[in-house]
Amino acid sequence: MDTKNLTLGEHIRTLRRRAGLSQTKLAQIVGVHLSSISRWERDLTTGDMSLKHFMKIAQATGTPVSELLAVSSCHESIGKLAGGTNG
């Protein structure tokens, strides 16, 4: 999948739909509230995403973590997860 032009939220939504999962089901699998999935997919926030969340989303959608993290908008989130700066 070409992810270069997708935001992280668009990518998560595309993968979720491709896997045939509702937002509710993905939220249950990931262990978060439905509103978190909705906010992530709309690119309203990713600050509350942990590496554990990325891994569970990847597993639930049958996607390698590297593909999930391939979108350019994800790099800032990765930096935060790794303890980088917030800028």
Residue 59 pLDDT: 96
The answer as to whether 21 is a domain residue is yes
Range of the domain at 54: 8-81
pLDDT 10s digits, 27-74: 999 999 999 999 999 999 877 888 899 999 999 999 998 888 776 555
Residue 87 domain flag: no
- What number of CA atoms fall less than 13 Å from residue 33's CA on the CB side? 4
In this prediction, residues 10-35 reach a mean pLDDT of 96
**What pTM value is reported for the model?**
0.76
Q: Which CA distances in Å does 21 have to 14, 15, 84? A: 10, 9, 32
CATH code of the domain covering residue 20 = 1.10.260.40
Q: Is residue 65 within 8 Å of residue 54, measured between CB atoms?
A: yes
